[in-house]
Amino acid sequence: MNSQRLAGTSALTALAPAVWGSTYLITTEFLPPDRPLLASVVRALPAGLILLLWTRVLPKGIWWWRAVVLGVLNIGAFFYFLFLAAYHLPGGVAALVMSIQPMIVLLLGSVLLKARIQPLHIASCLLAAVGVALLVLQPQAGLDTVGVMAGLLGALSMASGIVLTKRWGRPEGVSLLTFTGWQLTVGGLVLLPITLVGETLPDHLTWGNVGGFAYLSIIGALIAYVLWFRGLSRLPALAASFLSFASPLCATVLGYLFLDQSLRPLQFLGAAAVVGAVVLAQPRKKAPVAPRAEPAASRA
């Protein structure tokens, strides 16, 4: 893959975490309060069933349990912890907590994918962490124990899903839509009985609630995860995980545009650091090595 195609793949893949960055705004402004399980199920299950009905392909053999594992890590557990963090923390702070994900991918990748940890990767992680901290931490930023723990567990869940997705790949002959549909459906089905037992359903839904749920399911799940798994199949695991920093960037911008949050010079510096870290972590096409010139005596 040449440099131009690599850059295009990275940019298209980054649209997924950028959309996920809007989850915090949608959750606090449009969804019924204190319903993280319901939000997770409605986001995942309809989108997964749509893809299954469209493709009509089910897992076979070993891919039954692999689809369950990936569906729980990438969708079910991740969605629940994401919404729980969004209900308990300001959007930018929740995104900051979850920004530990690339560091977890770096460690897991070295074990499961035999990927070498390079100094550039460590520098990128540190630069991104500092950038996100400058971007979202403000004096009035509220920290909540439940929200922080949810964010950390969400980062661990998604990082594990990324590494295992790269390790197992996609079954031969199975389309990207089918692969995405399996995981969204599994994630929704695993959470459905827990939701029915653990949460009460809202007495009524407003049109704003309906619109928020529809946005999260169609845009935030169906379309975003197709783009995400497409990119994950073409990019190294660590490079893809760094694209998740588009999430706090998007959350901060949306907070400025719609929630009257201010942007300070340090936040612009943080945004530049985040973008720089993402660029550093992306793969590059190696330049071809020029053949060594034959000595003159040998040519003679």
Which residues, at least 6 apart from 249, have a Cβ–Cβ distance to it below 8 Å? 18, 21, 135, 271, 274, 275
- What per-residue confidence (pLDDT) applies to 148? 82
- What per-residue confidence (pLDDT) applies to 277? 78
When pLDDT is cut at 50, 70 and 90, the band that residue 286 belongs to is low
- What per-residue confidence (pLDDT) applies to 215? 95
When pLDDT is cut at 50, 70 and 90, the band that residue 289 belongs to is very low
- What per-residue confidence (pLDDT) applies to 225? 94
The neighbour count for residue 198, using CB atoms within 10 Å, is: 11
- What per-residue confidence (pLDDT) applies to 278? 78
- Contact status, residue 18 vs residue 297, Cβ threshold 8 Å: no
pLDDT(298) > 50: no
pLDDT(56) > 80: yes
The neighbour count for residue 111, using CB atoms within 10 Å, is: 9
Is the model more confident about 1 or about 201? 201
- Contact status, residue 68 vs residue 186, Cβ threshold 8 Å: yes
pTM (2 d.p.): 0.84
User: Which one-letter amino acid corresponds to residue 117?
Assistant: I
